[in-house]
Amino acid sequence: MKTHRILRTALWVTIGAGLLTGYGIPAATNKAEAATRKKSASKKKPAVAPKSFNGNIGVAPIPLTEGENVLYTVNKNGYLEWHKHSMKVGIVTVPGSKVRKRGLIHSMTAPKKIGMGWGMRQVFPGTEHTIYGISNDGTLRWFRHDGYETGKYDWAQDTVVGSGWNNFRKVISMDKGVLYAWSANGELRWYKHNQYTYGGGGEFGWEQNQLVGKHWNFQDVFGGGNGVIYAVTEDGKLMWYRHRNYLSAVPTSEDNPQVWQQSWDGPKQIGSGWDQFTNIFSPGNGEIYAIKPTGELMYYQHLGWRTGAMKWGVNAVVAKGWGDYDTVFARVKTGDRPRD
């Protein structure tokens, strides 16, 4: 990767899956990729955020939580870009009216180019400021963006930490070094990279992987942090799961109901209409980003993320023009910020 000139910051404001042949080296599985789906927003119902409010509106006021998230994108030329989404409590106008209430003011910085050559098979976050990339030949490479707070071009030396990772449909990020590999045949396999902070691999870099689920035949699956996994069904339902043993997994699947019940909570339906989005991702703590076919970047707050309750907070359009990115993801948080 080469240094690129950093763009000036501008503010955009809106309201609102195979067995290991070695540690970290999965053997070949079903290589069939999920067929690309054409999504039409006009034929889909809006994503459900039950009793969604902007600010303290309604009989049951929702909490307003300030914060910020670091987002990364890869464009069609392979450039990796850094963005920061900030949320501040202020006075906002309720959409569709002249009413002004306390609510969240969203701002997004202009993108900063922080790398090139990122047009890989898959790029996804690790814990904190760790990033993984899977090459077309299945090599798993570790990166650490030390300049994540400001978008500075500041990287640790990247290193190879595994191979054979091109056999999966998608690798799902969690936190504390935990990854889930989702295969095209519906298997869900747990991995833990013990040396995610410094990029070590080999026998001592990884825990023995475990098969923790079967029949995960969904349109999309993404991690929500702290063992929470969200899944989108073919008909657009948003389902919530929580892997209780995500830090130290034991073999389990739906084929063994007793072990499954001891290891997992859910599934619980928490929304509908989520098949309209071209990409969905989360930094954790119930915060969910979703991109519409029109390129709008939506922000949702799942207040019931810890228990799977159908309880939602503020949602808002926080950026536009995100439809052209090949890859999007958020820096995974390790803090457990209650939202229930």
Q: What is the mean pLDDT of the chain?
A: 83
Average pLDDT over residues 120-143: 96
pLDDT band at 252 (very low <50, low <70, confident <90, very high): confident
Lowest mean pLDDT among 91-95, 102-106, 323-327: 91-95
- What pLDDT is attached to residue 100? 87
What domains, with CATH codes, occur in the chain? 12-16+20-32+54-330 (2.115.10.10)
Is the CB of residue 62 less than 8 Å from the CB of residue 314? Answer: yes
**Residue whose structure tokens are 């540690």:** 23
Q: What angle do CA 60, 222, 234 make, to 5 degrees?
A: 90
Choose between 252 and 85: higher pLDDT. Answer: 85
- pLDDT one-digit tens code per residue, 282-324: 999 999 999 999 999 999 999 999 999 999 987 899 999 999 9
Is the CB of residue 238 less than 8 Å from the CB of residue 269? Answer: yes
Percent of the chain with pLDDT over 90: 66
pLDDT at 170 over 70: yes
- What pLDDT is attached to residue 103? 85
- pLDDT one-digit tens code per residue, 9-22: 333 433 333 333 33
- What pLDDT is attached to residue 62? 67
Q: Both tokens of residue 26?
A: 């999965």
Compute φ and ψ for 167, nearest 5 degrees.
Answer: -90, 0
Beta strands at 228-232 and 220-225: parallel, antiparallel or unpaired:
antiparallel
- pLDDT one-digit tens code per residue, 174-186: 999 999 999 999 9
- Give the C-alpha distances (Å, rounded to integers) separating 225 from 24, 68, 134, 178: 21, 16, 21, 10
- What pLDDT is attached to residue 31? 39
- pLDDT one-digit tens code per residue, 34-53: 344 434 444 444 454 433 32
- Give the C-alpha distances (Å, rounded to integers) separating 157 from 72, 130, 165, 235: 19, 12, 21, 43
3-state secondary structure 240-291: EEEECCCCCCCCCCCCCHHHHHHHEEEEEEEECCHHHCCEEEEEECCEEEEE
- pLDDT one-digit tens code per residue, 202-238: 767 999 999 999 999 999 999 999 999 999 999 999 9
Tell the burial category of 14 from Cβ atoms under 10 Å away from its Cβ (0-12, 13-18, 19+).
middle
